[in-house]
Chain A
Amino acid sequence: MSTAMLTYLFVGASFSLYIGIAIWSRAGSTKEFYVAGGGVHPIANGMATAADWMSAASFISMAGIIAFLGYDGSVYLLGWTGGYVLLALLLAPYLRKFGQFTVPDFIGERYYSKAARIVAVICLIFISFTYVAGQMRGVGIVFSRFLEVDITVGVIVGMGVVFVYAVLGGMKGITYTQVAQYCVLIFAYMVPAIFISILITGNPVPQLGLGATVADGSGLSVLAKLDKTLLDLGFSPYTEGSKATVDVFAITMALMVGTAGLPHVIVRFFTVPKVSDARLSAGYALIFIALLYTTAPAVAAFARLNFVETINNTSYAEAPGWFKNWEEIGLIGWVDKNEDGVIQYAAGAAFVGSPTFNGAKGVTGERSLTNTPTDSTNEVYADRDIFVLANPEIASLPGWVIALVAAGGLAAALSTAAGLLLVVSTSISHDLLKKTLMPEITERQELLYARIAAAVAIGVAGYLGINPPGFVAQVVAFAFGLAAASLFPAILLGIFVKRMNKEGVIAGMLTGLIFTFAYIVFFKFVSPELNNSENWLFGISPEGIGTIGMVLNFLVAFSVSRVTTAPPAYIQDLVDDIRMPTGAGVAHKH
């Protein structure tokens, strides 16, 4: 069977599985729609959380980014796993005890304020849509490369599948499809990683292969060889960073705290039966996540090594098929600067901007570019997103592995998109309509509104996927920075500081939000030419500024709450109640 046939088969089979699960687990009440009835087993919830969390960015982009950044890529590994420690220790058990449906629910009730609830809803919707646009782009890439269909068709098919299980099944449908999607995505990630680890080092465990000796007789370890190879080509060594320590610190902190404050992750812990299950479930979630996150740096190093060795000083005529396939999609570009027909790879950009083709073919058969070449000897442009997807081809693995990776990438993108869309729809139907604008609606009406909101949200996400705003990549920093600067401090203070009142928390959230928002907008959109470390506050880039936003949030919240009245007695009792694990709402079995 051809690779394309296999890919259709794998993707088709996995999609049917997701839809089958959705039909089996239809939601009948708002509790089932919002929190899956609260009866999900901690291990199942751990898997669902892992799939919910690991997005197209984790599956497709992360290893590629690390492959290029080397040590500096550690911020993603540390940030996106370390946040779970904060979540498990500081937030999840208490929010489960609180036992409502959404994150704005907690903020609205704890701070006895509709204004606080609305601020939280705004943060949540902004964070979630920023994130979901990236997922839809991931779906588009996989479809256009592996199934050779138009990106638009790909996104519409993806939307259709998410529509079926999110609108029908709500949280209940999403939970069990996410369990299946985790299994698909982790299998799809591990199989090629293991193959490549064996090929390069002879060690089947990628985590160990990363530190093993390259099986080419050189006697060097993978990382030592990579350092040496890159140095020879004019790059800085792989294992040493080039970012300033203060910036690495701030970015890691913003990503960690932002992770713990992401609404679609937090709500997963509303779905387990007990408070202690919320803790346990966070532990399982991190095991499932760590499996991929400790493999990714190995994949990154192997991919970089493989890429350099197969491409550098190879004549274009003899270049492997994948090089030309990705060139066809426009994610690889080659300009033969010295006109020798041989591909030279070195440090520095090959040309200005991302590749734009003029439709003609060059002397050696490559797609001609209209970009202005740079002075660098480098002739190759390679988009970071291709590394995981191209890895099986680069390592010449069999067709079924390539098909598997396509199905895995889709599982990662769809599971995260569904989780995000659900929190958007519940915050609209529950927080905005039921709790604020239309308190008189019945549960059935609320459920209907939730489904309508989910359908509309999917439509918006699909539109963003087909017409990606040019700034998608730039705004990812928003999602984490804003979650770190707004939601996380508000929730944390609500649990750990009894004296915190609505005045303090609203002032804090707005300060964190506006400061972080303004800083990112200024450096990313208003004056991008100033976006360098000389102009940054304390040398912190827009990616890490959420950390400062968070500190400001805490400072303002404490100062304001000092000079305003303490929260009413019933709120202080509520806090006492949240802190005790006993007496959480009873769950029902599935």
Chain B
Amino acid sequence: MGEQKNGSSDQGAEEGIYHHEGGNLPTHGHHDEETLKEDVVRLYWRANLKLLGGLLVIWFVVSFGFSILFVDVLNEIPLFGFKLGFWWAQQGAIYVFVALIFVYVVLMKRIERRFGVDDD
């Protein structure tokens, strides 16, 4: 849940930056290829960093947050036969880790297509 929300807001932000900066491209004066290429590198990298930041926040929250810092609080909540904090530490966090990598694979591919730098 937190994931999707984060992912989509990130995407919006990337789109915003890209269109915004893209619209500003001519103000660089020259349309020469070098400048354009540098802009693509810079914007692509910024979009990547935003995505990374969002995903690493989730990574931190499920592992160090739910499983360690707040484990005692969450353990008050039962989840089927588990205590919730214990479940995050020994099961839940691992599932989220797997999901995070695949979300990254998909969203990164999208960013690369948008900037025309994908390796297919």
Contacts and interface: CB of A to CB of B under 8 A. Distances in A.
A576 B89 CA distance: 38
Given A283-B102, A579-B45, A274 B97 contact: no
Contacts of B23: none
B55 A89 contact: yes
B109 A276 contact: yes
A41 B100 CA distance: 21
B69 A249 contact: yes
Interface centre among B44, B45, B89 (most CB of A within 10 A): B89
B41 A84 contact: no
A276 B81 contact: no
Contacts, number: 136
Interface stretch (A2-10, A218-226, A317-325, A352-360): A218-226
Contact of B120 (A82, A256, A276): A276
A278 to B, nearest CB: 10
Interface string B39-68: 001001100100010011001000110011
A294 B81 contact: no
A282 interface: yes
A31 B97 CA distance: 32
B112 A581 contact: yes
Contacts of A576: 41
Interface string B82-107: 11001101110111011011101100
A212 B75 CA distance: 17
Contact of A223 (B63, B86, B102, B120): B86
A211 interface: yes
A297 B52 contact: no
B104 A224 contact: no
A220 to B, nearest CB: 9
Contacts of B83: 223, 239
A245 B67 CA distance: 10
A90 B64 contact: no
What is the interface residue range for chain A against chain B? 35 or more
Nearest to A274: B119
Interface stretch (A155-163, A285-293, A413-421, A535-543): A285-293
**Main SS at interface, chain A:** helix
A266 B79 CA distance: 37
A210 B87 CA distance: 10
Interface string A548-577: 000000000000000000000000000010
B21 interface: no
A130 B42 CA distance: 41
Contacts of B67: 74, 78
B105 A84 contact: no
Nearest to A282: B101
B119 A582 contact: yes
Interface string B18-48: 0000000000000000000000010011001
A77 B90 contact: yes
B15 interface: no
Contact of B117 (A74, A252, A581): A581
A222 B83 CA distance: 12
Contact of B98 (A212, A274, A280, A287): A287
A207 B97 contact: no
A84 B101 contact: yes
Interface residues of B, number: 42
A210 B81 contact: yes
A249 B89 CA distance: 12
A71 B86 contact: yes
A88 interface: yes
Interface in A56-81: 66, 71, 73-74, 77-78, 81
B50 to A, nearest CB: 12
Contacts of A222: 81
Q: Which of B81, B90, B95, B117 has the most CB of A within 10 A?
A: B90
B113 to A, nearest CB: 11
B64 A249 contact: yes
Contacts of B44: 579-580
Given A78-B63, A212-B81, A282-B101, A90 B120 contact: no
B75 A240 contact: yes
B52 A276 contact: no
A573 to B, nearest CB: 11
Given A71-B86, A580-B117, A81 B64 contact: no
Interface string A30-41: 000000000000
A89 B89 contact: no
Nearest to B111: A581
Contacts of A287: 98
Determine which residue in B55, B102, B105, B120 has the highest number of CB atoms from chain A within 10 A of its CB, and name it.
Answer: B105
Contacts of A249: 64, 68-69
B69 A283 contact: no
Contacts of B108: 276, 279
Given A249-B68, A252-B63, A283-B102, A276 B118 contact: yes
A475 interface: no
A207 B87 CA distance: 10
19 contacts: A77-B89, A77-B94, A78-B89, A84-B97, A89-B56, A240-B75, A249-B68, A249-B69, A276-B119, A279-B104, A280-B105, A283-B98, A290-B97, A294-B91, A579-B41, A579-B45, A580-B44, A582-B117, A582-B118
Interface of A: 66, 71, 73-74, 77-78, 81-82, 84-86, 88-90, 207, 210-213, 221-224, 239-241, 245, 248-249, 252-253, 256, 274-276, 279-280, 282-283, 286-287, 290, 293-294, 297, 576, 579-584
Given A82-B97, A85-B56, A582-B119, 19 more contacts: A66-B90, A71-B71, A81-B94, A84-B101, A85-B59, A85-B97, A85-B100, A85-B101, A86-B59, A88-B101, A210-B90, A221-B80, A223-B83, A240-B75, A249-B69, A274-B119, A283-B105, A579-B45, A584-B119
Interface of B: 41, 44-45, 48, 52, 55-56, 59, 63-64, 67-69, 71, 75, 79-83, 86-87, 89-91, 93-95, 97-98, 100-102, 104-105, 108-109, 112, 117-120
Closest 7 CB pairs of A and B: A221-B81, A211-B81, A74-B89, A283-B101, A297-B90, A211-B80, A239-B86
